[in-house]
């Protein structure tokens, strides 16, 4: 039987209290010999590219359990640069990467998880999780939330696909009415996000 680092918290007389707490999360005696896999999810309802990640996390957890592991999920913060832009909120965007890296490292090491699956999108969250992965030096799988479909609007009886850049161009044009600008304001745009999304796939 392999020696899992999670055994630090699940085996031995001195860990009776820890086992009781694990049981309170739904684990049973038969789970204490299995690897504990952290599911690190950046699901929030603040970021359009993250709103579907809760469902993705459930699928990942189901497959971990089906493969003989114990899935334990936690979430990270996620700042949407588009919403934070143009005011003091932008001061929090880049530093959030460090908070994500630290919080992932803390959660996984504090609970002695054996491996982790990172579910992420966007250009602060994915690098933050990558930084944590390098610090932890445990098996890691990255699951990208994937691309978003382009927004659509109907102008002059034409269906037009659009993105945030289109909305910004229209917003700067004084000939475009406020109502039209509102209708143009549909994501997605990922000016920097695709690059970090590709990094975990690099051999």
What are the tens digits of pLDDT across the range 44-88? 999 989 999 999 999 999 999 999 999 999 999 999 998 999 999
Between CA 18 and CA 1 the distance in angstroms is: 22
Return the DSSP state at 157: T
Residue 144: predicted pLDDT = 92
Tokens 């491996």, located at residue: 115
Comparison of pLDDT for 117 and 199, the residue scoring more: 117
Three-state DSSP class for 26?
Answer: coil
Residue 164: predicted pLDDT = 61
Residue 109: predicted pLDDT = 98
Which one, of 137, 186, 130, lies nearest residue 159 by Cα? 186
pTM of the model: 0.81
| Degrees to nearest 5, angle at CA 106 with 194 and 17 | 140
Q: At 36, list the tokens.
A: 């504990």
Residues 128-164: tens digit of each pLDDT: 999 999 999 999 999 999 887 766 666 667 666 666 6
Tokens 């039209």, located at residue: 180
Domains and CATH numbers, the chain: 7-147+192-201 (3.40.50.2300), 151-182 (no CATH)
Question: What mean pLDDT comes out for the span 174-196?
Answer: 58
Question: What mean pLDDT comes out for the span 109-115?
Answer: 98
CB count, 10 Å around CB of 162?
Answer: 21
- Please state the φ and ψ torsions of residue 17, each to the nearest 5 degrees: -65, -40
174 pLDDT tier (thresholds 50, 70, 90): confident
How does the average pLDDT of the chain come out, rounded?
A: 86
Say if CB 117 and CB 91 are below 8 A apart: no
Q: At 78, list the tokens.
A: 């996620």
């Amino acid at each position: 039987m392999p020696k899992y680092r999670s055994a630090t918290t699940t085996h031995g007389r001195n860990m009776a209290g820890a086992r009781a707490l694990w049981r309170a999360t739904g684990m049973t005696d038969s789970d204490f010999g299995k690897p504990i896999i952290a599911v690190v999810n950046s699901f929030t309802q603040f970021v359009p590219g993250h709103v579907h990640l809760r469902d993705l996390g459930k699928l990942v957890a189901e497959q971990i359990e089906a493969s003989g592991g114990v899935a334990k999920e936690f979430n990270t913060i996620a700042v949407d640069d588009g919403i934070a832009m143009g005011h003091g909120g932008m001061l929090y965007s880049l530093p959030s990467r460090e908070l994500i890296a630290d919080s992932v490292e803390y959660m996984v090491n504090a609970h002695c998880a054996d491996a982790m699956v990172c579910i992420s999108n966007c250009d602060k969250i994915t690098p933050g999780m990558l930084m944590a992965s390098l610090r932890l030096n445990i098996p890691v799988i990255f699951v990208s939330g994937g691309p978003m479909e382009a927004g659509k609007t109907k102008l002059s009886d034409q269906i037009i696909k659009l993105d945030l850049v289109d909305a910004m161009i229209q917003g700067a044009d004084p000939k475009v009415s406020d109502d039209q600008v509102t209708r143009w304001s549909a994501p997605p745009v990922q000016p920097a996000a695709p690059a970090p999304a590709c990094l975990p796939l690099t051999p």
